[in-house]
């Protein structure tokens, strides 16, 4: 065929216009006006069933062109309608959030009215409208949709499925019919969009839907009226938080009003496991999981306890504001009476917080074995708080106020009623208030504290011979208050010397049976000068210091029986001179890379040996027996000793770096573990390199001054600064040249298993003074733990000058379990505490639970044997409904898993 130049130009123009129209969806200049605020953009949004890149281009019209503003798009057909490409971004009268319209079939337009058919998708901001047929007015924003209508998106991941409805993109209002919807239910990252919710509360593919929060909100309705961006009226519908298609619980009602935070309704029916269970004249249900509201909590009902009986309780919750809340409640025990409890929480800026809790019981009386009436009631009150003082602009907080205060009226009350075994057997209470400011390597603080503990009363020879039980009494020590100033090492001018100082001044008081001090003032200052140096791989730190301590009162010894205490009004001035040399030898190391080790450990093994020695001399403390005892400052004594030891370590180093697991990253010692960027610019996962597999520290002290300057008293347990800092286990009852050997071993072959074995072995007496083993294992749903603790050391009675009484403590703890709190299906766990010396069970529990998709049942049997105070068998349970609450008396913090 012969073409003229004019026809060739026309043919070229035709091809250009066609290509321009096919690619028009990439031209962001064609936008549709909207009054909506700027959204998230259309690139992050995907049409249902396919991505935007998968949408068929569809047929195109040879005369179609795209412009913006109010101009026509191409030349209209004779009937006033215009077919145009399957996907286009257009703009109406006003500029605003762009609106993208897509469909499989060609779209037509008459004025500002667009008609779209088959797989229609309208994207505006962070929302998407999908339907089989849509009529859309670009000027008003009105949308009329029929056939599989879906409206989704928004900051709360809202999604509405309906048979048909109307919607306005500018006001975000509309009416939908035959609706199933969700709030907080989103797609798993990286997965294509599917129809996750369909009419009748069924899911086409529920495994692809994930919860945006722990309590999503799902609803159905004959009619749903959308009154604003996050306000709905659900007519003749239901609400739930359970996974579909068969929710464990459901609320049905004539009208639910949703305001973005809460759903409210009147005259509703609560269904449990598809059974109508409860009529509720008025109910509210949270839509936003971060929103809290005041109200009554689910009543607590307890099963039988051998010492408390049955129980029933109720709590009321007050959401005071967005930063604080208050819970108050009461429980009635059929055998004991009423117990009250409460908690307060506040969270402020930075790390500021206040928490408080209290509990109390008015005991009607308990008759233990022997038929003796005992009142075990009492009160327990705890407050913890922190306030960071505002720093200068751009600085981090360096000053804070802290409180950790507890008042307990009776140890028996805590032992008899707490559900935590470790707390039940604890006899120590410490309350502290302090403020601290750090600056330029210095720290200034002001504190006041109160220590309270149980101390065995002294027994006479006749009582010991008769085997009478030991009676306890309270020991109380106060710091009221104390000002402290400390510093880290600072360079002394241009010299290699470093200086540091610890100092304090404050008031002290001690109260115990048969002895009470008045207010005692104490001033203590401890400056030190040190010089570090190295040679041939040996690191040395030599230091000299002095210590001056002034007491306004002292301890009277003349005319007082051994072990007894009496206060003297005479002041006391204690001065000492100190010298210390710390030597760290060169680290010996060797790397083993045999094929056998490579197969066993998956890497080569590095073995290191680190020897160390510390010589310490203190002289000038010749009046130790006259010093009143309040804390570790007062147990300083003369000493001339040498501490020596060696630490061995095994490190695993893979020959080929591999991705590092989270548990291994904390153990990694290689500076090259920092992730490098991949070629695409994204951070590469950290490479796991060298990590510690095994460490073992063995040490001992040799004493050249076996009387410690006269501080040592034969036949008594002696606690001195030099022994306390070494082992923590008292072993001095007479002169000796060496301390027990201490061993601290830890093995961590992988992130699944952890083992520690620590012991003190007394070579003089040929026995273990302490022996502790701790093991922990967890893999998947399986977990377990084991601990063994033995103490065979001088007891507290020796402090009072009585015949030697050894503390013989021998305890076993075992924990085994399968499952976790969020696991669906069956979980079971058991633990036990055994007194190996007596061969008796101190406590034990067996707990089993079964979780459905949004509800769970847990049942526990627990037993306590704590002497005459508590011998209890108890059954506890809870039944939990997601986003509703928990019924029962098994609290989350007391569960085994």
Q: 769-826 pLDDT, tens per residue?
A: 999 999 999 999 999 999 999 998 886 654 444 444 567 788 999 999 999 877 889 9
Flag whether pLDDT at 665 surpasses 50.
Answer: no
Highest mean pLDDT range out of 512-516, 568-572, 698-702?
698-702
**Is residue 692 a contact partner of residue 677, using CB atoms and an 8 Å limit?**
no
CB atoms within 10 A of CB 506: 20
Mean pLDDT confidence for 621-640: 93
Using pLDDT thresholds of 50, 70 and 90, give the confidence band for residue 65. Answer: very low
Q: How many helices (H) and strands (E) does the chain have?
A: 7, 51
Q: What is the pLDDT of residue 474?
A: 81
Q: What is the pLDDT of residue 8?
A: 39
Instruction: With H, G, I as helix, E, B as strand and everything else as coil, classify residue 355.
Output: strand
Angle at 825 (CA atoms; ends 822, 829), nearest 5 degrees: 75
Query: What is the rounded CA–CA span in Å between residue 705 and residue 737?
Result: 8
* 112-171 residue pLDDT tens: 888 888 889 988 888 889 999 999 888 888 899 999 999 988 777 888 999 999 988 888
CB atoms within 10 A of CB 2: 4
Query: What is the rounded CA–CA span in Å between residue 528 and residue 583?
Result: 18
Q: What is the pLDDT of residue 733?
A: 87
* 571-582 residue pLDDT tens: 999 999 999 999
Q: What is the pLDDT of residue 671?
A: 40
Highest mean pLDDT range out of 4-8, 25-29, 99-103?
99-103
Residue predicted with more confidence, 533 or 892: 533
Using pLDDT thresholds of 50, 70 and 90, give the confidence band for residue 350. Answer: confident
CB-based contacts of 734, cutoff 8 Å, min separation 6: 712, 714, 715
Query: What is the rounded CA–CA span in Å between residue 498 and residue 869?
Result: 56
Q: What is the pLDDT of residue 395?
A: 64
Torsion, Cα of 320, 321, 325, 329 (10° steps): 30
Flag whether pLDDT at 213 surpasses 70.
Answer: no
Residue predicted with more confidence, 882 or 280: 280
Identify which of 266, 285, 269 has the alpha carbon closest to the alpha carbon of residue 277: 269
Lowest average pLDDT, out of 25-29, 381-385, 692-696, 852-856, goes to 25-29
Residue predicted with more confidence, 803 or 411: 411
Query: Chain-centre distance of CA 220, in angstroms?
Result: 36
Q: What is the pLDDT of residue 244?
A: 65
Residue predicted with more confidence, 77 or 230: 230
Instruction: With H, G, I as helix, E, B as strand and everything else as coil, classify residue 618.
Output: strand
Would you state the structure tokens that stand for residue 190, as one six-digit string?
């990286």
Mean pLDDT confidence for 513-539: 93
What's phi and psi for 390, nearest 5 deg?
Answer: -60, 125
Query: What is the rounded CA–CA span in Å between residue 21 and residue 802?
Result: 103
Flag whether pLDDT at 349 surpasses 50.
Answer: yes
Query: What is the rounded CA–CA span in Å between residue 817 and residue 827?
Result: 8
Q: What is the pLDDT of residue 533?
A: 95
Lowest average pLDDT, out of 32-41, 307-316, 502-511, 525-534, goes to 32-41
Mean pLDDT confidence for 498-506: 96
* 586-604 residue pLDDT tens: 999 998 888 887 777 777 8
Would you state the structure tokens that stand for residue 574, as one six-digit string?
């204690």
Q: What size, in residues, is the chain? A: 897
Mean pLDDT confidence for 682-697: 71
Q: What is the pLDDT of residue 51?
A: 31
Q: What is the distance between the terminal CA atoms of the chain, rounded to a whole angstrom? A: 84
Mean pLDDT confidence for 76-87: 47
**Beta bridge pairs of residue 339:** 331, 361
Q: What is the 3-state secondary structure (H, E, C) of 557-617?
A: CCCCCCCCCCEECCCEEEEEEEEEEEEECCCEEEEECCHHHHHHHCCEEEEEEEEEEEEEE
Flag whether pLDDT at 303 surpasses 80.
Answer: no
Flag whether pLDDT at 83 surpasses 70.
Answer: no
Q: What is the pLDDT of residue 209?
A: 43
Q: What is the pLDDT of residue 18?
A: 41
Mean pLDDT confidence for 734-746: 95
Residue predicted with more confidence, 708 or 260: 708
Residue 360 parent element (H or E): strand 353-361
Residue predicted with more confidence, 14 or 308: 308
Using pLDDT thresholds of 50, 70 and 90, give the confidence band for residue 67. Answer: very low
Q: Is the peptide bond before 44 cis (omega within 30 degrees of 0)?
A: no
**Is residue 507 a contact partner of residue 482, using CB atoms and an 8 Å limit?**
yes
Q: What is the share, in percent, of the chain residues with pLDDT greater than 70?
A: 75
CB atoms within 10 A of CB 720: 20
Q: What is the pLDDT of residue 820?
A: 85
Q: What is the pLDDT of residue 376?
A: 86
* 455-469 residue pLDDT tens: 655 545 555 555 555
Query: What is the rounded CA–CA span in Å between residue 730 and residue 725?
Result: 11
Flag whether pLDDT at 78 surpasses 50.
Answer: no
Angle at 75 (CA atoms; ends 71, 81), nearest 5 degrees: 90
Residue 5 parent element (H or E): helix 5-22
**Is residue 584 a contact partner of residue 538, using CB atoms and an 8 Å limit?**
yes
Flag whether pLDDT at 26 surpasses 50.
Answer: no
50-58 long-range contacts (CB < 8 A, ≥24 apart) are 50/192, 51/192, 52/87, 52/102, 55/86, 55/87, 55/102, 55/104, 55/119, 55/121, 56/86, 56/104, 57/22, 57/85, 57/86, 57/87, 58/85, 58/86, 58/103, 58/104, 58/105, 58/106
Query: What is the rounded CA–CA span in Å between residue 860 and residue 844?
Result: 10
**Is residue 527 a contact partner of residue 546, using CB atoms and an 8 Å limit?**
yes
**Is residue 504 a contact partner of residue 522, using CB atoms and an 8 Å limit?**
yes
Query: What is the rounded CA–CA span in Å between residue 117 and residue 67?
Result: 23
Q: Output the pTM of the full model.
A: 0.73
* 833-886 residue pLDDT tens: 999 888 889 999 999 999 887 888 899 999 999 887 888 999 998 888 877 777
Using pLDDT thresholds of 50, 70 and 90, give the confidence band for residue 506. Answer: very high
Highest mean pLDDT range out of 319-323, 611-615, 880-884?
611-615
Q: What is the mean pLDDT of the chain?
A: 79
Instruction: Compute and round to an integer the Cα radius of gyration of the chain.
Output: 38
Q: What is the pLDDT of residue 570?
A: 92
Mean pLDDT confidence for 372-380: 82
Q: What is the pLDDT of residue 675?
A: 45
Q: What is the pLDDT of residue 520?
A: 95
Query: What is the rounded CA–CA span in Å between residue 321 and residue 768?
Result: 57
Q: What is the pLDDT of residue 531?
A: 97
φ/ψ bin of 164: left (φ > 0), alpha (ψ from -120 to 50), beta (otherwise) = beta
Query: What is the rounded CA–CA span in Å between residue 729 and residue 393?
Result: 48
């Amino acid at each position: 065929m012969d073409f003229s130049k004019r026809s060739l130009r026309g043919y070229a123009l035709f091809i250009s216009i066609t290509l321009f129209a096919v690619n028009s969806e990439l031209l962001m200049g064609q936008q549709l006006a909207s009054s909506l605020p700027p959204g998230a953009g259309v690139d992050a949004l995907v049409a249902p069933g396919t991505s935007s890149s998968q949408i068929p281009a569809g047929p195109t019209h040879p005369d179609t062109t795209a412009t913006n503003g109010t101009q026509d798009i191409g030349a209209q057909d004779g009937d006033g309608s215009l077919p145009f490409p399957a996907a286009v971004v257009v703009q109406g009268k006003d500029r605003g959030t762009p609106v993208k319209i897509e469909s499989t079939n060609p779209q037509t337009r008459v004025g500002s009215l667009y008609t779209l058919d088959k797989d229609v998708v309208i994207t505006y901001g962070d929302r998407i409208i999908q339907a089989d047929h849509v009529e859309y007015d670009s000027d008003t924003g009105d949308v009329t949709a029929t056939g599989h209508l879906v409206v989704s998106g928004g900051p709360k991941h809202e999604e509405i499925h309906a048979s048909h409805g109307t919607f306005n993109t500018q006001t975000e209002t509309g009416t939908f019919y035959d609706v199933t919807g969700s709030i907080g239910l989103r797609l798993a990252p990286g997965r294509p969009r599917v129809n996750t919710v369909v009419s009748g509360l069924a899911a086409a593919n529920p495994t692809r839907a994930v919860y945006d929060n722990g309590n999503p909100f799902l609803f159905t309705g004959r009619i749903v009226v959308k009154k604003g961006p996050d306000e709905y009226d659900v007519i003749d519908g239901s609400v739930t938080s359970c996974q579909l298609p068969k929710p464990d619980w459901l609320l049905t009602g004539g009208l639910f009003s949703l305001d973005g935070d809460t759903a409210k309704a009147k005259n509703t029916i609560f269904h449990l496991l598809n059974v109508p269970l409860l009529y509720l004249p008025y109910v509210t249900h949270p839509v936003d999981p971060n929103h809290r509201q005041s109200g009554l909590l689910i009543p607590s009902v307890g099963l039988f306890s051998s010492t408390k009986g049955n129980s029933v309780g109720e709590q009321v919750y007050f959401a005071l504001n967005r930063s604080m809340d208050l819970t108050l409640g009461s429980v009635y025990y059929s055998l004991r009476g009423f117990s009250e409890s409460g908690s307060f929480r506040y969270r402020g800026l930075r790390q500021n917080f206040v928490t408080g809790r209290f509990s109390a019981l008015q005991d009607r009386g308990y008759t233990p074995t022997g038929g003796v009436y005992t009142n075990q009631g009492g009160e327990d009150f705890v407050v913890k708080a922190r306030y960071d003082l505002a720093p200068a602009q751009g600085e981090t907080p360096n000053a804070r106020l802290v409180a950790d205060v507890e008042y307990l009226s009776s140890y028996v009350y805590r032992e008899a009623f707490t559900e935590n075994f470790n707390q039940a057997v604890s006899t120590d209470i410490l309350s502290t208030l302090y403020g601290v400011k750090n600056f330029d390597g210095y720290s200034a603080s002001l504190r006041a504290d109160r220590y309270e503990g149980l101390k065995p009363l002294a027994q006479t020879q006749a009582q010991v011979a008769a085997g009478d039980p030991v009676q306890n009494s309270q020991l109380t020590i106060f710091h009221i208050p104390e000002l402290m100033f400390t510093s880290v090492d600072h360079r002394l001018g241009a010299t290699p010397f470093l200086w540091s100082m610890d100092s304090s001044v404050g008031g002290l008081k001690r109260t115990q049976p048969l002895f009470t001090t008045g207010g005692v003032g104490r001033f203590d200052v401890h400056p030190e000068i040190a010089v570090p140096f190295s040679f041939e791989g040996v690191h040395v730190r030599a230091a000299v210091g002095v210590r001056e301590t002034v007491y306004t009162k002292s301890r009277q010894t003349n005319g007082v029986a051994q072990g007894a205490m009496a206060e003297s009004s005479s002041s006391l001035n204690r001065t000492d001179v100190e010298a210390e040399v710390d030597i760290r030898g060169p680290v010996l190391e060797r790397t083993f890379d045999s094929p056998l080790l490579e197969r066993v450990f998956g890497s080569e093994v590095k073995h290191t040996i680190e020897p160390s020695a510390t010589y310490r001399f203190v002289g000038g403390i010749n009046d130790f027996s006259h010093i009143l005892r309040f804390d570790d400052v007062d147990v300083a004594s003369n000493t001339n000793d040498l501490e020596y030891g060696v630490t061995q370590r095994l490190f695993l180093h893979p020959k080929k770096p591999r991705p590092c697991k989270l548990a291994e990253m904390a153990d990694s010692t290689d500076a090259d573990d920092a992730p490098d960027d991949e070629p695409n610019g994204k951070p590469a996962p950290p490479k796991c390199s060298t990590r510690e597999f095994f460490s073992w520290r063995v040490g001992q002290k040799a004493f050249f001054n076996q009387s410690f300057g006269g501080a040592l008293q034969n036949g008594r347990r002696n606690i001195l600064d030099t022994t306390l800092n070494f082992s923590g286990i008292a072993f001095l009852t007479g002169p000796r040249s060496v301390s027990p050997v201490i061993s601290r071993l830890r093995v961590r072959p992988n992130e699944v298993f952890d083992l520690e074995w620590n012991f003190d072995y007394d070579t003089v007496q040929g026995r273990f003074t302490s022996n502790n083993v701790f093991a922990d294992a967890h893999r998947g749903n399986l977990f377990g733990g084991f601990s063994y603790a033995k103490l065979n050391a001088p007891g507290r009675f020796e402090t009072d000058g009585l015949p030697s009484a050894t503390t013989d403590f021998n305890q076993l703890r075992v924990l085994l379990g399968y499952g976790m709190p969020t696991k669906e299906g069956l979980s079971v766990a058991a633990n036990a505490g055994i007194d190996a010396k007596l061969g008796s069970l101190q406590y034990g529990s067996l707990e089993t639970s079964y979780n459905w998709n949004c509800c769970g049942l847990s049942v526990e049997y627990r037993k306590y044997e704590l002497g005459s105070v508590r011998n209890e068998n108890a059954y506890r349970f809870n039944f939990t409904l997601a986003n509703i609450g928990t019924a029962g008396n098994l609290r989350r913090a007391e569960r085994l898993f």
